[in-house]
Amino acid sequence: MNQNKQSGTTPEQNGVEQSTKGFPVVTPEDEANAASFEMKKRSSDGSWVAAVPVHVTDGGAQPAAQAEQPESEPAEPVEEIAAAEAAAAPENEPAAESAEETAPEQEAETPQAAEETAQPEEEAEPEPAAQPDEPEAAFEADEQPEQPEAAASRRRMLRNRCIAAAAVGVVAVVGGFSAFVYGYGGIFPGVHVADEYKLSGMTQTEAQAYIAEDVQNGIFDKEITLTGKDLGADTDKEYTIRVADVAATIDSESSAQQAYLIGREGNYFQRVGTVLNSMFSGWEVSLNATVQDGAIAAEVAEIAADLNYDPVQPSWEVNKEAAELTVDTGTEGLGFDADKVVSDLTAKVQAVDLEGYTIETYAVDQDKPDAAAIAADVNCDPQNATVDKSDGVTVIEAVTGVAVEESAIASAIGDAAEQTYTVPVELTEAKVKKADLEPVLFRDVLGSATTYYNSGQTSRTTNVRLSARACDGVILNPGEEFSYNDVVGERTAARGYRSAIIFQEGEEVEGLGGGVCQPSSTIYMATLRADLEVSERYNHQFQVSYTPVSQDAAVAWGSKDYKFINNTDYPVKLDVSVGGGALTVRIIGTKTVDKDISLYARTYVSGKYKHATLYKTVTINGESTTNKENTSAYLLR
> Is residue 461 located within the same domain as residue 572?
yes
Contact 52, 22 (CB under 8 A): no
- Chosen domain end from 128, 146, 164: 146
Tell me 44's DSSP state: T
> Is residue 545 located within the same domain as residue 452?
yes
Count the domains in the chain: 3
Nearest one of 434, 589, 579 to 527, comparing CA atoms: 589
**What residues make up the domain containing 272?**
191-328
Q: What is the pLDDT of residues 106-143, one digit of tens each?
A: 443 433 433 444 344 444 444 444 444 444 444 444 45
Count of H-run helices and E-run strands, the chain = 19, 33
Tell me the C-alpha distance between 326 and 314, whole Å.
11
Contact 186, 201 (CB under 8 A): yes
Decide if pLDDT at 208 tops 70.
yes
**Residue 183 belongs to some domain of the structure:** no
Burial of residue 120 (number of CB atoms within 10 Å: 0-12, 13-18, 19+): exposed
Nearest one of 578, 474, 592 to 531, comparing CA atoms: 592
Q: What is the pLDDT of residues 333-367, one digit of tens each?
A: 999 999 999 999 999 999 999 999 999 999 999 99
> Is residue 127 located within the same domain as residue 264?
no
pLDDT band at 509, cuts 50/70/90?
confident
Q: Average pLDDT, whole number, for the chain? A: 83
3 state DSSP class of 25: coil
* Mean of pLDDT values over 374-399: 95
> Is residue 124 located within the same domain as residue 207?
no
> Is residue 195 located within the same domain as residue 140?
no
**Residue 318 belongs to some domain of the structure:** yes
3 state DSSP class of 574: strand
**Residue 537 belongs to some domain of the structure:** yes
> Is residue 595 located within the same domain as residue 472?
yes
**Residue 429 belongs to some domain of the structure:** no
> Is residue 543 located within the same domain as residue 625?
yes
The torsion angles phi and psi of 129, rounded to 5 degrees, stand at -60, 145
> Is residue 133 located within the same domain as residue 208?
no
Contact 255, 179 (CB under 8 A): no
> Is residue 216 located within the same domain as residue 137?
no
> Is residue 123 located within the same domain as residue 246?
no
Q: What is the pLDDT of residues 17-72, one digit of tens each?
A: 444 444 444 455 555 544 444 455 556 666 656 555 544 444 444 444 444 444 44
Q: Is the dihedral of CA 460, 578, 484, 447 positive or negative?
A: positive
How many CA atoms lie less than 13 Å away from 551 in the CB half-sphere? 22
**Residue 310 belongs to some domain of the structure:** yes
Q: What is the pLDDT of residues 6-19, one digit of tens each?
A: 344 444 444 444 44
- Chosen domain end from 297, 328, 359: 328
Decide if pLDDT at 378 tops 50.
yes
Tell me the C-alpha distance between 296 and 302, whole Å.
10
pLDDT score for 272: 93
> Is residue 195 located within the same domain as residue 85?
no
Q: What are 610-614's contacts with CB under 8 Å, separation 24+?
A: 610/543, 610/634, 610/636, 612/549, 612/550, 613/550, 614/549, 614/550, 614/551
Instruction: Give the chain's largest Cα–Cα span.
Output: 187
Tell me the C-alpha distance between 532 and 481, whole Å.
11
3-state secondary structure 154-177: HHHHHHHHHHHHHHHHHHHHHHHH
**Residue 266 belongs to some domain of the structure:** yes
Residues with Cβ within 8 Å of residue 627, at least 6 apart in sequence = 615, 616, 618
* Mean of pLDDT values over 597-607: 96
**Residue 389 belongs to some domain of the structure:** no
**Residue 431 belongs to some domain of the structure:** no
> Is residue 459 located within the same domain as residue 515?
yes
Residues in the chain: 637
| Whole-number Cα distances in Å, 254 to 208, 275, 362 | 8, 20, 40
β-strand partners of 367: none
- Chosen domain end from 124, 146, 168: 146
Tell me the C-alpha distance between 399 and 383, whole Å.
5
Tell me 578's DSSP state: E
